[in-house]
Amino acid sequence: MNEIVASFARFLPRFMEMLVIVVLGWLIAFILKVLLRSVLKITRFDRLSEHTGATQLLRGAALPSLTELVSRFVFWVAWMGFILLGISVLGLVGIEQHVASFFGFLPRLFASLLILFFGLLGASFFSRAALLSGVNAGLPSPRLISWAVRTMIILFVVSMAFEELGVGSRTMIVAFALTFGALMLGLALAFGLGGKDLARKYLERRFARERDESRDREDELSPL
């Protein structure tokens, strides 16, 4: 009994220490969140996110604004760090190792999130560029082209992010290669076999249109 009381007496200060660290950590994480949110609002981070198409992406996934998302992410990562720090103070066997591996994992988590963020922005930008070029050139199915560009980039980016995290990196690379290959093969088959009539019609229409245009002299209209 005395031993239990003694060990509890030894444990209690450390537990209190842990509680203080966790509460203090929550406070620091909360202040960090508020500060970051204010800085991002002042620097109009949401506008940047809107320009690059990230806002639309988040809205589509029913997620809050990018400012809110980044602030919350920083809050949880910071508080998580303090919680683990607090737990390590308890001196439980094996915990230190997990805490160390968590802090070692953080840079890779940040890197993969950055890859994911910029990759998604790139996907949005290039798919929109493909859509606009397709529409202005009068290509058939510009939305399909745009979707294909977006999907390719997202697949590539997700596989890169997983590789950075080291989570099933080989599986992801193989999955990406398979999906990419299947997509290409599918497109080749679609255009080569399934779409041969469509391709013929398109080419006929295109050349016929060029002939019509030269006949109708539309090209002689100078916009400038």
Partner 1 sequence: MPQESILSDDFIRELINVGEVDILVGLPTYNNGETVGQVVQAVRTGLLKYFPRARSVIINADGGSRDGTQDLVRAASISDLSVSSDVHALRTLHSISTQYEGGPANGIALHTIFAAADLLQARACAVVSPESTTIEPDWMDRLLRPVLNDSRDLVLPVYRRHKFDGLLVRNLLYPLTRAVYKCQLREPYPSDFAFSGGLGSQFLSQDIWSKEQGRQGTELWLTLSALVGKFKLAQSFLGTKARQENPRSDLVNAMRETAGILFCSMDSFSSVWRDSQPPVDAPCLGCQPAVSLEPLRLNRKRLHQMYVFGLSELEPVFLSILSPATHADLKRLATLSEESFAFPAELWARTVYEFSVSYHKAVIGRDHVVQALVPLFRGRAYTFLTENREASAEEVEGNLEALCQTFEREKPYLLGLWDGGK
- The DSSP secondary-structure symbol of 139 reads -
Task: State which of residues 19, 34, 129, 208 lies at the interface with partner 1 (CB under 8 A).
Answer: 129
Q: How far apart are CA 116 and CA 137, in angstroms?
A: 31
Binding test (CB under 8 A) with partner 1, winner from 18, 45, 53, 88: 53
10/59 with CB nearer partner 1: 59
Check binding of 134 to partner 1 (CB under 8 A): yes
Query: What is the closest distance, in whole angstroms, from the C-beta atom of residue 187 to partner 1 in the complex?
Result: 20
How many beta carbons lie within 10 A of that of residue 112, not counting itself?
20
CA 195 – CA 26 distance, rounded (Å): 59
The two three-digit tokens of residue 54, written as one number: 């990230």
Candidate list 2, 3, 138, 170; residue touching partner 1; CB under 8 A? 138
Select the residue interacting with partner 1 from 26, 73, 125, 156 (CB under 8 A): 125
Shortest Å, Cβ 62 to partner 1: 17
64 secondary structure, DSSP code? -
| Binding of partner 1 by 104 (CB under 8 A) | no
Task: Return left, alpha or beta for 102; rule: phi > 0 is left, psi -120 to 50 is alpha, else beta.
Answer: alpha
Instruction: State in angstroms the smallest separation of the CB of 156 from partner 1.
Output: 21
Q: Is 128 in the site for partner 1 (CB under 8 A)?
A: yes
Residues of span 18-47 touching partner 1 by CB under 8 A:
47
Structure tokens at 142: 């510009």
Place of tokens 């093969």: 185
Give, as ranges, the residues between 180 and 209 that touch partner 1 (CB under 8 A).
209
CA distances from 145 to 131, 142, 185, 191 (A): 7, 5, 15, 13
Interacting residue ranges for partner 1, rule: CB under 8 A: 47, 50-51, 53, 56, 125, 128-129, 131-136, 138, 142-143, 209, 212-213, 215-224
